[in-house]
Structure 1
Amino acid sequence: MDLNDGLLGIGARIKHPTFGEGIIVGMDLSTLNVFFKHEGDKEISRKFDGLKVLESAQEADTGLDLKTVEAALKRVLKEMAGISQPVAMGGKWEGGTLIIKPATADLQSKEVPIDAFFHKIVMVRDRLRVLEQNINSHEKLNDADKVHMQQYISRIYGSLTTFNILFADKEDHFSSK
């Protein structure tokens, strides 16, 4: 395919033999940045011969509808802000109360709805995941520093395993591994 014929440009729809249909979202002298619905963003060499142009950049409808913008925003927020999928609390705890009772009889106990407590535990987990991602992608940390900091995060996860009884699904449990 002759890439200088004006068919390829930002907004062009292409078909890749492995990744399927995609839209060119960026380009430079040697590569195309293509977003594939099921594969996400991929960088493809301009010299790759396996691309088929489905719709040129000039033909592409560049108008965005609200659903497209919402889907893109949700994807970005999920990836960048660490928003997790909804996590279910075990049914036996729903509507329950966590009672924190001091050893001294003259002090008042504290009651907290388990739903609120569970939400706080899930938020701690989500923020640890974001911290973990930031450490792993940090430009100035070397691999030894990343491993060292990761060990602390693993220990924190291990300390939080006590709260696994609150989760409905084992896949949501804390694990030090």
Structure 2
Amino acid sequence: MRKDPFWDADLARYATKRPFLKEQSIWAIWIYRFGRRVDYRKNGVIKKLQTEVYWVLFRIVETLTTISIPKSALIGPGLRIWHFGGIFIHSNTIIGSNCTLRQGVTIGNRGEDQLAPVIGDNVDIGAYAQILGDIRIGNNCKIGAMSVVLQNVPDNATAVGIPAKILFK
């Protein structure tokens, strides 16, 4: 099996040597990366079996950790989830590289037919933050804990509050 540079970058963000034993969030990230690899396989029996395995593992890990990262989301390398639990990512979300999520984060749409957010690189999202709608969070941003972000956030800015106000560094 080939090395997955995205998975290697994810693991590198976990300080512990054996994150599978100490960090439940890594289970959800691993299932997500596995599902993405399965999607790139050629159609056939193996892909079909692996897809079935993915869905079973996805539901088990989603139930145990309350982290939902569907394989259709596009997430760059180096995802780090601190303090697992209550994390939901919309299936059409795009997240850049080296992003950090904390417990209770929701990244999703605001209505049935609306698009999901696009998150840039090196974004740090605080606990229980909600990022909703067809918006873009720029590179190197910070989203404060419990913020509700409903508008674009430019590069290198911080968004805090309900609804979030944009602060510049």
Q: Shared topology, TM-score over 0.5?
A: no
Give me the TM-score of the superposition, normalised by structure 1.
0.22
Query: Larger % of helix: which?
Result: 1
Q: Which has the larger radius of gyration?
A: 1
With a CA cutoff of 8 Å and minimum separation of 6, indicate the structure with the bigger relative contact order: 1
TM-score with structure 2 length normalisation? 0.23
